[in-house]
Amino acid sequence: MSYSEKAIEYEFKDFQKRWPNMFKKVYCGFNLPRGWNTVVWKLCDRLESLGCEEPDVFQVAQVKEKFGGLRFYYGFDKEVDNETRASARTYVEFSESMSFYVCQTCGTTIDVCFTSDNAWYNTRCTPCRSQSKKYHISF
Ligand SMILES: [Zn+2]
């Protein structure tokens, strides 16, 4: 699978439908920039392969963007072995790192750069960055 394809238009309900147990009570919110849909979808696939979609094993707590990067918070509902726990952490950390190479708006990996605009951090490709500039108010 390539991250350079355009992001698939998943909605929260698509995640919930695909992984009803993992997304049963996302109590801190799901605010996923559209461009990272594929990154999180792939992550959930990997978590499922660890057994996280079994009933009452694993909960996604919150998904959001912070300081231009993906944040994926989760917890285990019951004790799992250390190997499963470590693998889940590795997959999540990998995806969070990966997000800095994927445009948060359109999902491309081409010409992506991390920028800070005053206090706003963004991971965007050049076309998306120039488009969003049009909507900024400038003095
Ligand atoms: Zn883009």
Residues 6+ apart with CB under 8 A from 106: 6, 7, 34, 35, 125, 127, 128
Residue 112 alpha carbon to ligand 1 centre in Å: 7
**Mean pLDDT (whole number) for 122-134:** 84
Distances, alpha carbon 54 to alpha carbons 22, 25, 47, 49, in Å = 8, 15, 10, 10
Question: Which sequence spans correspond to the domains of the chain?
Answer: 12-133
Residue-wise pLDDT for 10-45, tens only, equals 889 999 999 999 999 998 999 999 999 999 999 999
Residue 125 alpha carbon to ligand 1 centre in Å: 4
Residue 43 alpha carbon to ligand 1 centre in Å: 21
Residue 134 alpha carbon to ligand 1 centre in Å: 15
Stated pTM of the model: 0.87
Residue 90 alpha carbon to ligand 1 centre in Å: 26
**Mean pLDDT (whole number) for 42-51:** 98
